[in-house]
């Protein structure tokens, strides 16, 4: 295939599928595989990269990473073309009976580098992810927008997959997903789920989303709101009776609103604020924190729900004493929660170490003050009874 990376002069020591399998079997809780020239193959475990050295692969060469990229792209012509045109591409890849992956291949310093996100073999559930039960309200929404936000690798796709799976189990509806690439595979259950992949099934999110309005879905999942056009069509879909689920790479609810509004010209921003205040139902932001016992990570969720107060703050903008954080602090009875309150709970219950929790906090200074009764003069935590949710 002419658009694939140039075939290297020497083949890798292991076939690519065999190498991937060996890397996964080396450790538990592997979230990513990384192939970079100049390094041994690496795995990410609990947020940290660990080298996995095999005989003959103590240090990857550009020829070896190009060969691995060539193997991954063997049956993905559209992704291979995009790599040549844009210098980066996304695709899905699977090793039968072992694992599926979301893959990004990109050019750097004239060679290929590869990051492979491990996709769990089964669709996650509310129970397996320990999601707050308030998020089950999304399952029965008839229209509007629900967003899951956070940095790369924070579990956004898993949360959305669990929501779609419960919808699929409980409602006889048509669910359409537009993903880049498809991660979790949903079988038809009570509902009917169609999954479209960027590049192989459709060229852009916006085009697929516009087409979705003619495909009679009740729920539309858009993998990511990447641009103004996608946001505009998503709001149009929500306003015409669809429930739209999507993600954004923003760190909290307030920054999410800023990102959406800021995607539009200044002259349109107030109108967008008004429209989004009426359309949004949930904004869920996620962070993954290392557990204090060293066994994996724990998800911390911030949950903003649509209410009279939060809609007003979205429409009119935040002011002193009238912020979305204030609303979430005061909205626990409605199922709302905020990052630092959840991190405080995890620190007090011993799930997360004090300094780790503070490093992930939105306002570490305020959180330290809230924990002042929990910190002795030497800065160590005092034993306290675990606090349940």
Is 3.40.50.300 the CATH classification of the domain at 16-119? no
Per-residue confidence at 56, pLDDT binned at 50, 70, 90? confident
Beta strands 42-45; 48-51: pairing state: antiparallel
Q: Indicate where the chain has its CATH 3.40.50.300 domain(s).
A: 126-337
Among 95, 114, 113, which Cα is nearest to 103's? Answer: 114
Q: Tell whether the model's pLDDT for residue 387 goes beyond 50.
A: no
Please report the sign of the dihedral spanned by the C-alpha atoms of residue 245, residue 246, residue 252, residue 253: negative
Taking residues 157-178, what's their average pLDDT? 97
Band of pLDDT at residue 8, cut at 50, 70 and 90: very low
Count of other CB atoms within 10 angstroms of residue 262 = 13
Section 92-108 average pLDDT: 93
Rounded mean pLDDT of the chain? Answer: 91
Q: How far apart are CA 324 and CA 224, in angstroms?
A: 23
Q: Cβ neighbours of residue 339 under 8 Å, at least 6 residues apart? A: 252, 285, 287, 300, 302, 360, 361, 362
- Residue 270 pLDDT > 50: yes
Mean pLDDT, range 15-26, rounded to an integer: 91
What CATH number does the domain located at 126-337 have? 3.40.50.300
Mean pLDDT on 106-122: 93
Burial class (CB in 10 A: 0-12, 13-18, 19+), 296: middle
**pLDDT above 90: residue 312:** yes
Quick one: pLDDT band at residue 385, thresholds 50, 70, 90?
Answer: very low
Report the share of the chain in percent with pLDDT over 90. Answer: 80
Q: What is the pLDDT of residues 357-372, one digit of tens each?
A: 999 999 999 999 999 9
Listed in order, the ranges of the chain carrying CATH 3.30.450.90 are 16-119
Between 380 and 117, name the one with better pLDDT.
Answer: 117
Which position has the higher pLDDT, 324 or 295? 324
C-beta separation of 61 from 2 below 8 A: no
> 194 by DSSP, 3-state: which?
strand
Q: Give the pTM.
A: 0.84
Number of helices and strands in the chain (H, E): 14, 13
CB-based contacts of 200, cutoff 8 Å, min separation 6: 76, 78, 79
């Amino acid at each position: 295939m002419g658009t694939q990376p140039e075939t290297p002069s020497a083949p890798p020591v292991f076939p690519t599928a065999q190498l991937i399998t060996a890397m996964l079997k080396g450790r538990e809780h592997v979230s990513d595989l990384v192939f970079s020239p100049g390094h041994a193959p690496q795995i990410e475990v609990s947020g940290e990269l660990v080298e996995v050295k095999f005989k003959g692969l103590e240090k990857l060469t550009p020829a070896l990473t190009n060969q691995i990229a060539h193997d991954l792209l063997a049956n993905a012509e559209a992704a291979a073309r995009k790599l040549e045109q844009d210098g980066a591409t996304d695709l899905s890849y699977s090793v039968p009976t072992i694992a599926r992956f979301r893959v990004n291949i990109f050019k750097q310093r004239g060679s290929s580098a590869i990051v492979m996100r491990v996709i769990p073999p089964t669709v996650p559930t509310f129970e397996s992810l320990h999601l707050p039960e308030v998020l089950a309200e999304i399952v029965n929404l008839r229209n509007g927008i629900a967003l899951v936000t956070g940095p790369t690798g924070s579990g956004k796709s898993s949360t959305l997959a669990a929501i779609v799976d419960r919808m699929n189990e409980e409602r006889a509806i048509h669910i359409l997903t537009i993903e880049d690439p498809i991660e979790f595979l949903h079988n038809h259950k009570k509902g009917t789920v169609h999954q479209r992949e960027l590049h192989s099934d459709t060229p852009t999110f916006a085009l697929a989303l516009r087409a979705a309005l003619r495909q009679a879905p009740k729920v539309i999942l858009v993998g990511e709101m990447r641009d103004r056009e996608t946001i505009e069509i998503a709001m149009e879909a929500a306003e015409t009776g669809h429930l739209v689920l999507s993600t954004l790479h923003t760190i909290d609810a307030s920054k999410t609103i800023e990102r959406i509004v800021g995607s539009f010209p200044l002259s349109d921003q107030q109108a967008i604020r008004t429209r989004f205040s009426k359309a949004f139902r949930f904004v869920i932001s996620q962070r993954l924190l290392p557990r204090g016992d060293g066994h994996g990570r724990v998800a911390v969720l911030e949950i903003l729900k649509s209410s009279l107060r939060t809609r007003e703050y979205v429409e009119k903008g935040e002011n002193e004493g009238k912020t979305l954080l204030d609303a979430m602090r005061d909205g626990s009875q409605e199922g709302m929660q905020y990052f630092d309150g959840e991190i405080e709970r995890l620190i007090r219950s011993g799930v997360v170490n004090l300094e780790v929790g503070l490093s992930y906090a939105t306002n570490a200074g305020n959180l330290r003050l809230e924990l002042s009764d929990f910190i002795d003069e030497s800065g160590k935590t005092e034993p306290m009874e675990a606090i349940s949710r």
